[in-house]
Amino acid sequence: MSDQTNVRAADYGLPMYFDMQAKMGHTKHLGGRYATQKLAELCQLEPGKTLLNVGSGSGISAAYVAETYGCRVVGVDLLPGMVESARSWAAAKGLADQLEFRVGDAQDLPFDDNQFDALICESVNAFVPDKEKAMREYIRVVKPGGCIGFTEAIWVKAPSETVAEIIAEATGQQFHSPEVWEALFQNSGLVDLHSENHPLSVRDEARNQSGLVGFRDYMKILGRFFRLLFSDRETRSLMRYVGSNPRQYFEYMGFGIYTGRKPK
């Protein structure tokens, strides 16, 4: 798979704002630090363990997990620009020894069988066309007894067709009901399943998002964002589009956390 940074998100059918996020060095998932901590705890991350973070984006969660739980983290992402961005973040945080990032597709992971103690995906599988195939890959690369965890954006309240269309356009992703993610786990052969679903609270969300990066880094990311906004016409038009994300629809949105274990 190409390691060149001139590959665009649209080439893979991914939302165009991923290109902007790669340049800004900032991706996110609903639930922010809360969801990451919960996955780390459910997967019992600790020093000596190796985690695979699929769809690692800008590497912020991967670095947070490596720093907080002392484990080694390998990140893999489809977009070379994201991998570049994650490598820079790891170097800036002084965590390059604990972190490694590679280009790769969730549906065809570039790793041997039974390599990782745990695997997490944060707001990734909604973008993956063949979710069952990706799940088979996750199970293949995790060691027997290893934990697989997702956090994904969900509908907490059934939306009308219009609301679903508006949200899909504004966020670039298809939200699902919790049952879709729960069924993926139930049909996978994983054991010890855990599922929890949370509505979106705007106040908690702001705290959970900034909680993964810290105030100083958040300011630096904001600085990069404003520089891009001034210098890049494409970013300006994208922001007009993404900025239309309608707050009145937050009541329909939430995030789910799902984990299971590969049988021993």
Ligand X SMILES: C[S@@+](CC[C@H](N)C(=O)[O-])C[C@H]1O[C@@H](n2cnc3c(N)ncnc32)[C@H](O)[C@@H]1O
Catalog residues that contact ligand X under the rule CB under 6 A.
14, 18, 27-29, 54-58, 60-61, 77-79, 82, 105-107, 122-124, 127-128
Query: Using CA atoms, how far apart are residues 179 and 92, in angstroms rounded to an integer?
Result: 39
* Least distance (Å) between residue 264 CB and ligand X: 27
| Closer residue to ligand X in complex, CB, 39/190 | 39
Give least dist CB 195 to ligand X, A: 19
In the bound state with ligand X, the residue whose beta carbon lies nearer, of 150 and 185, is: 150
Distance CA 141, CA 244 (A): 39
Give whichever of 122 and 217 is closer to ligand X, judged by the CB atom. 122
| Helix, strand, or coil (residue 119) | strand
Q: Rounded distance, CA 125 to CA 169, Å?
A: 17
Residue 62 C-beta: closest distance to ligand X, Å: 8
**Which CB sits closer to ligand X, 52 or 54?**
54
Q: Which is nearer to ligand X, 134 or 156 (CB)?
A: 134
Q: Which amino acid is at 146?
A: G
**DSSP string covering 157-199:** SPPPHHHHHHHHHHHSS--B-HHHHHHHHHTTT-EEEEEEEEE
At its nearest, how many Å lie between ligand X and the CB of residue 19? 10
In the complex, least distance from residue 78 CB atom to ligand X, rounded to whole angstroms: 4
Give the angle subtended at the CA of 39 by the CAs of 38 and 45, to the nearest 5°: 105
What minimum distance in Å lies between the beta carbon of 150 and ligand X?
10
- When the beta carbons of 67 and 161 are compared against ligand X, the nearer one is 67
Cα(first)–Cα(last) distance of the chain, in Å?
32
- Inter-CA distances, 81 with 16, 19, 24, 91, 208, Å: 12, 7, 10, 16, 25
Task: Tell me which residue has its CB nearest to ligand X.
Answer: 57
